[in-house]
Structure 1
Amino acid sequence: MVKVSVILAVYNEEKYIKKAIESVLNQTLDDFELIIVDDGSTDATSEIINSFDDSRIKTIFQTNQGPGASRNNALDIASGDYIAFLDGDDWYSENLLEIAYGEASRNNTDLTFFQMINYNNGEVYENDWFSLKSFDDSFKDRVFEPSQTPGSIFDLSVGVCQKIYNREFLRSIDARFPEGIFFEDMPFFYYVYLKAKRISIIKRHLYYRRKHDESITHVVDEKFFDTVRAGQVLMDIFIENGWYDAYKFDLLAYKINGPRFALRDMPLKCKPHMFDLIKKDYEEIKMGPYYWDFLDQLGPIKKKFFLDVLSSRDYEEFKTSSES
């Protein structure tokens, strides 16, 4: 057993994967395993992975299954006391594992947040979300529960790479990523976060998050169709775990906003299909037990969107009604 299992799931990351791997191998804490999952890459990613000769690296080469399945496959073989994640286009500061593991193990946390910093073409900059600005100084050097979260839990960064997780805790709650969709981080995070009893934060920028044109969240395109399915999975998680009533006001707004903003921002060619996915989801809601909650709990803008979608036959009709 090692102190930390680092999970690096990649697909066609030939431009950046070398730096990501080196940032793990050069950590000041060296008692780790690096589990690299190549999810059916068609570029030179697999060759670059195989160029590293280090006993701490474990590799999984698989046909393309998506990010959720890739991370689940790595979790199945992970042996570390704690689990950390890294995206193939990002990299760690050299002391991330030492600092994050030290904090988490010292306080026996279920998960511990740390700060991320953005990198874009040589420019390094912060933002409030990834810098954990919602947590004031009262959260420094202490352990807390989800009920003590400042503001809404839906204001937190859901990115899986921004935390280190106790492996036994993840296994005890059977934490798994939804498979077959993008935005798998979001349902995973809320399930894990609300199951946790011991959480802490580290106000240090330990993770470099690269912004570039090919990154999943940079371009709003067909991948954002999955915001509908991810929202459905999230609703199911809250309902099945008895969290729905306590969080429904913010939960329903969050569920509406993801696809709403995606529909607004994606290219015109994607909008009709995105609208159809949203409409199908809303029609199912209308036939279910939570329809009146949507009408009662949504603010005016989100409620209008919800009703406009339901009353429109297609995207063109919706566009006309939403502009009126």
Structure 2
Amino acid sequence: MYETLTEIELAAPAADGVPLAGTLTLPAGPGPHAAVLCLPGSGKLDRNSDTAKLRMDLGRPLAEKLARHGLASFRYDRRGVGATPGDWHTVGFLDNRADAAAALQAVRTHPAVHGRPVGVLGHSEGAVHAMWLAAHAQATAAVLLAGYARPGEAAVRWQGTRLAAAAPRLVRPLLPVLRRAASKQLARLAASTTDATRVGGVRVNAKWWREQLAYDPRADLSRIRVPVLAVTGEKDVQVDPADLDVIAGLVPGARVHRIPGLTHLLRRTDGPGTVFAYRELLRRPVEDDLMTGVAQWLAERLG
């Protein structure tokens, strides 16, 4: 079905020399090709936005859709994941951003792309890094899938509120205690000084949390002067769909879409879309019409 596509293993060198192992997917026909850098959400994610326990299965279907619209794309394993070396537990939020910038430069200079426009597409945390790249690294266009537009701590607390609202009835009497415990843990992570720490006996990426909680993407959004498409699902419980209004207000000419029934996992549901439904939702593919719309929009601006 995909015999006209070409996949190339590419190790994009990070600023410190770490090879970010990934896949450069090329469309049919002679190059060089316009291209898209694809950035995943938060967590220990590989190039397909998968973890060991949960398969988002976004990377390859999206790359194939972009190729069918004449666009190359690059996606890579995070540090300490898949074929990229490193310790994922010690990598910061800003390290992820720096790696994204290095990957963007590697795509730009690859012979199959060199001289053609390169856009960025990010999901969740990746969307926030895409905002920075659009504002500071001369990305030609940016697609923001479920990207938040408020300080990181505010975004996390909004998530917590939605999670609490969907908690099973038997757990609800414990919510005040759980909220206080969560607030203490956030304060502890914000005040931490090490790259990693232990919370409840579990090793946690303290540097990532510290930097993410403090980061406010609104300054970057206000500096963007390239085309932006922002999409958030109406049933997203991890990113407030109302942040689309903030993006529209800060980015001149931005196109924003709040899609009915769409969840943070980029699948639609007739239910509430809570995290308790994620395993069931992940049995279905990412919405094809969403990927098609995104690919068409990028092709019109990069092709």
TM-score normalised by length of structure 2: 0.27
Task: Specify which structure has the higher proportion of helix.
Answer: 1
Whose radius of gyration is greater, 1 or 2? 1
